[in-house]
Amino acid sequence: MERYSYSVARFFLLIILLVQASACNRQGTSAAENTQKPKNIRLVVGKIKEVQMPVPADTTIQLVASSENNEIVDVSKQTVEQTLSQNQTKETFLIKAITPGTVKVTFSRKKVNEEGAGDITQTYLVRVVNK
């Protein structure tokens, strides 16, 4: 009988460990899902790629774009005058290829006048090549 209770105790201990490991794995998976895989863009030097991002419903939040290296690409937002005829539910950003190389361009949302990178919404891996 003692041997049987020892086996049952080991079985329950194994079940508890598996449940805890499963919970840890799920937490890691959800965190990984929040970080999106970068999308790839290939540009020839001198060309411009338009990228549209949804406009936040909250007017205190702005969309911003940044590049790891401004010598490879220049990222800018189209002005309101340029987008009047376009759909106002999306903001248009321009990525201009300047010199060959690979750079990460990040789009994020943050409150107006807030410091830091904000909440990243999309990342692009831009590869610039010669003609």
> What are the pLDDT digits (tens) for 64-118?
999 999 999 999 998 765 555 555 788 899 999 999 999 999 999 988 888 877 8
> What are the pLDDT digits (tens) for 24-77?
544 443 334 445 789 999 999 999 999 998 888 888 888 899 999 999 999 999
Q: Does pTM top 0.75 for this prediction? A: no
In sequence order, the 6+-apart residues with CB closer than 8 A to the CB of 125 are: 38, 39, 40, 41, 102, 103, 104, 105
So what's the pLDDT on residue 17?
A: 65
Q: How many CA atoms lie within 13 A of 32 on its CB side?
A: 6
Q: How would CATH label the architecture of 39-129?
A: Sandwich (2.60)
Q: Where are the domains of the chain?
A: 1-35, 39-129
pLDDT above 90 for 20: no
